[in-house]
């Protein structure tokens, strides 16, 4: 996560990576969708998103041939009685994930107890308030947010 204050877990990594490549940059805070549209239109020079190839929709975008910043996604929970060892195990629990994220929507298709939210902070809030058993999201991002809101567990 990159933050305007520079305290996100990705701030240092991205800054160092771009400095080593001698690339001048400016972070622009926009949604992933807006970033993709702006990059495709040339309003901004690039966007970092976890999608392999969007050229069918945005033919001007050029995907990287390999992951630049690989991410780990997992079921994240606070309770000791939850055990996830295979995808089918998610069906035993209430789950939340980010709305519009195709991978999660495919994984949880047909699951009867799924919540979708628009912002990652809401996932952590739902865990803290015990509104869901677990959230499915990026492990580093969730850990960062949990630290910011002092979520224990």
Q: What is the pLDDT of residues 49-106, one digit of tens each?
A: 766 678 889 999 888 777 766 677 888 898 999 999 998 999 999 999 989 888 889 9
> 146, 124 in Cβ contact below 8 A?
yes
Mean pLDDT for the stretch of residues 112-132 = 91
Question: Looking at domain 73-148, does it have CATH number 3.30.70.141?
Answer: no
Closest residue by Cα to residue 142 from 130, 129, 126: 126
- State residue 144 phi and psi, 5-degree precision: -65, -50
Q: How is the chain split into domains, by residue range?
A: 73-148
Q: What is the pLDDT of residues 12-38, one digit of tens each?
A: 777 888 889 898 887 777 887 888 899
């Amino acid at each position: 996560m990159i933050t305007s204050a520079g305290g996100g877990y990705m701030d240092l990594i991205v800054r160092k990576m771009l400095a080593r490549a001698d690339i001048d940059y400016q972070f622009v805070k926009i949604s992933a969708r807006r970033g993709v549209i702006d990059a495709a239109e040339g309003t901004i020079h690039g966007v970092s998103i976890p999608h392999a190839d969007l050229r069918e929709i945005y033919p001007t975008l050029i995907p990287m041939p390999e992951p630049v910043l690989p991410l780990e996604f997992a079921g994240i929970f606070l309770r000791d009685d939850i055990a996830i060892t295979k995808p089918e195990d998610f069906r035993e629990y209430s789950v939340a994930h980010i709305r519009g994220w195709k991978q999660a929507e495919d994984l949880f298709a047909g699951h009867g107890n799924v919540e979708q939210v628009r912002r990652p902070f809401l996932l952590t809030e739902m865990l803290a308030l015990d509104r869901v058993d677990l959230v499915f999201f990026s492990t580093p991002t969730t850990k960062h947010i949990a630290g910011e809101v002092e979520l224990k567990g």
